[in-house]
Amino acid sequence: MGGEFPINTAPIATAATNITQTGFTANWNLYHFASKYKIDIYTMVDNQKVYVSGYQNKDVGNVISYTVDGLNSETTYYYLIRATDGISTTINSNEIALTNLAYTLDLFKPIALDATNITNNSFVARWTWNTNYVLPQSYNLTVYEKKIGAEIGYTSFGFNGSVFPTGWTTSNTSFYTSSGYYRSASPSAYLTVDGSYLETNVFERKIRSIQFWYRGRSTGATNSLLIYCSLDGAQWQLIKTINPLITAEGQTIVVAEAEIPDCNALKFVYSKPGIGFLAVDDVKIGLQEISNTALTDYNAINVGNVNEYQVVGLNKISKYYYTVVAKNLDVLSAKSNEISTETLADGTFTGLQNLKNPYSINIVGNELLISSDSKYTSLSIYNLSGQKMLDTFFDESIRINKEQLPTGIYILKINNGIHKLLW
């Protein structure tokens, strides 16, 4: 060791840093000849040490700081250090005292729950709060609609340089450079095993159109390409299955706007119960600006210390969203998750009426044809149970076939016009 280990000289502990509600970082000076350090962490009860579980004479290795977590808030803790060369151990260092921080409201957020008591012009917004946290004095409720911008911006994604687009993730890092297995430029992304996927980042704007090229190689008849969409990149909804897979020259796929629900992220998943591989290239995604417009009477309205609130004066067959923020004096919590809900139809619609008529509705064979004089017309279709069957926007016209909308009676909402359709 180059000298006798000085066991009668104490190491020097220094002030704690990074103090939080649940932990801190203990610090000390380097001790000559030490190969590692041991730490005691404790509270004091009736002038007696009460050691934190696992932190009596804990070996923390050859370091000069150590981070502790899992402690109580607003509690005074103490620590001291001993140095060792593996054989001998020093006397205790000086004692350091610190008090963990108190929890404050801004560290937490309410949990918004699904709306109840939904009618054609109202609903009850609900939320909850973890009572183990500091308790709020009141809540602010915001109810809003989402307005979709007029223009769709298209973004193209390729795999040039054998690099995935920024923010994308994948379970398979292969690329394919063979002629005929990429679209506009080499290489393509190459999915080789069952369940391999390409996942986009979560876009700030809504996805309104999807286009991409693919080509299978020796793919079996049971192999498929599955397309999923998601609002948050966590919960996924299957929107299209491509089967069988084209192996000759490849194929460009366009996912119709009517097939795309409200989403901000995409995932391409290769289902391979059989043999073969799949190349994907030239992904083109149309994104549209979505803005939140708060209702005048429900813009961060203080609803008191309650866990539900009735929202009234709404339009029928309309989609609304809400979030909640807790409040203590001037301190606000983080914003809750977002909840969406839709008001119901009132059942008073008869015939095929046009309340506003900048568009036409016609049944041609097995297709429903809706034409509009303007671009970016909103269309929602409901069955008589109030279930939404279709929610989309279209540019000048849209065709809906029997596969998308079986025979029945439906309520159509086109912009602000309400219609009854016998299909």
In this structure, are residues 386 and 345 in contact, taking their beta carbons and an 8 Å threshold? yes
Q: What is the CATH number of the domain that holds 226?
A: 2.60.120.260
- Looking at residue 376, its pLDDT comes to 64
Residue 179 sits in the same domain as residue 273: yes
Interval 48-63 mean pLDDT:
96
Q: Which of 21-30, 210-219, 273-282, 338-347 has the lowest mean pLDDT?
A: 338-347
Residue 179 sits in the same domain as residue 286: yes
The 10s digit of each residue's pLDDT in 146-159 is: 887 766 778 899 89
Residue 142 is assigned to a structural domain of this protein: no
Please state the domain count of the chain: 4
Tokens of 208: 């309104």
Domain boundary among 99, 125, 158: 99
Does 349 score more than 60 pLDDT?
no
Residue 24 is assigned to a structural domain of this protein: yes
Does 416 score more than 70 pLDDT?
no
Does 350 score more than 60 pLDDT?
no
Q: What is the CATH number of the domain that holds 110?
A: 2.60.40.10
- Looking at residue 348, its pLDDT comes to 32
- Looking at residue 294, its pLDDT comes to 96
Q: How far, in Å, CA of 42 to CA of 44, rounded?
A: 7
Adjacent-strand bridge partners of 355: none
Instruction: Output the average pLDDT for the chain.
Output: 87
Residue 126 sits in the same domain as residue 226: no
Residue 280 sits in the same domain as residue 336: no
Tokens of 149: 């911008």
Does 52 score more than 50 pLDDT?
yes
- Looking at residue 3, its pLDDT comes to 63
Does 131 score more than 90 pLDDT?
no
Does 405 score more than 80 pLDDT?
no
Q: Which of 88-102, 135-149, 388-402 has the lowest mean pLDDT?
A: 388-402
- Looking at residue 346, its pLDDT comes to 62
How is the beta sheet containing 13-17 ordered, strand by strand? Answer: 13-17, 24-28, 65-68
Does 352 score more than 60 pLDDT?
no
Residue 22 sits in the same domain as residue 42: yes
Does 111 score more than 80 pLDDT?
yes
Q: Which domain holds residue 262?
A: 150-290
| 386: number of Cβ within 10 Å | 15
Q: Which of 85-94, 124-133, 138-147 has the lowest mean pLDDT?
A: 124-133
Residue 326 sits in the same domain as residue 282: no
Residue 280 sits in the same domain as residue 183: yes
Residue 145 is assigned to a structural domain of this protein: no
Higher pLDDT, 321 or 411: 321
Residue 216 sits in the same domain as residue 310: no
Residue 6 is assigned to a structural domain of this protein: no
Interval 140-149 mean pLDDT:
90
Find, among 232, 226, 227, 225, the residue nearest to 265 by Cα. 232
In this structure, are residues 23 and 73 in contact, taking their beta carbons and an 8 Å threshold? no
Residue 83 is assigned to a structural domain of this protein: yes
Q: What is the CATH number of the domain that holds 390?
A: 2.60.40
Q: Which of 227-231, 268-272, 384-388 has the lowest mean pLDDT?
A: 384-388
**Parallel, antiparallel, or unpaired for β 331-332 and 319-328?**
antiparallel
Residue 333 is assigned to a structural domain of this protein: yes
Higher pLDDT, 93 or 262: 93
Tokens of 227: 């397309």
Which amino acid is it at 205?
R
Residue 275 sits in the same domain as residue 161: yes
φ, ψ of residue 31 to 5 degrees: the values are -110, 125
- Looking at residue 347, its pLDDT comes to 44
Residue 242 sits in the same domain as residue 313: no
Q: Which of 81-90, 239-248, 414-423 has the lowest mean pLDDT?
A: 414-423
- Looking at residue 144, its pLDDT comes to 96
The 10s digit of each residue's pLDDT in 270-321 is: 999 888 999 999 999 999 887 889 999 999 999 999 999 999 999 988 999 9
Residue 154 is assigned to a structural domain of this protein: yes
Residue 372 is assigned to a structural domain of this protein: yes
Interval 114-134 mean pLDDT:
89
High-pLDDT (> 70) share of the chain, %: 93
Residue 207 sits in the same domain as residue 256: yes
Torsion sign over Cα 223, 229, 230, 233: positive
pTM for the predicted model, two decimal places: 0.49
Residue 162 sits in the same domain as residue 280: yes
Q: What is the widest separation between alpha-carbon atoms in the chain?
A: 101
